[in-house]
Amino acid sequence: MTVYKASTKYLYSEIDSEAVILDINSGTYFGLNEVSNRIWQLLQTPSSQASLIAQILEEYDVSEEQVTADVKALLAEMLGTGLIEVVNEKVVSVT
């Protein structure tokens, strides 16, 4: 299971239910909608994709298929931009 955590090298500011994350070195900023902001908040502590999906399903009225697709896409984007990092990757063997 892969576990992700928000990087601490960015500035974060919440505006209503949305947020902005700023990379002070490059001046690049990232805008987060309400659900993406909630995922960012959850990623302040190490979290797996499955735990993020479960939490969003509890808090929002949305289908599991939609949440799964959106969380996967958001994690891939955040990982690609360095907003999050993998803190533990464990290979599970099935015997």
**Residues 21-64: tens digit of each pLDDT:** 998 888 899 999 999 999 999 999 999 999 999 999 999 999 99
User: Is the model's pLDDT at 19 over the cut of 80?
Assistant: yes
Q: Is 55 exposed, middle or buried (0-12, 13-18, 19+ CB in 10 A)?
A: middle
Structure-model confidence comparison of residues 95 and 70, the more confident one: 70
**Entry pTM:** 0.87
Please, which pLDDT band fits residue 84 given cuts at 50, 70 and 90?
very high
Please, which pLDDT band fits residue 89 given cuts at 50, 70 and 90?
low
Average pLDDT, the chain: 92
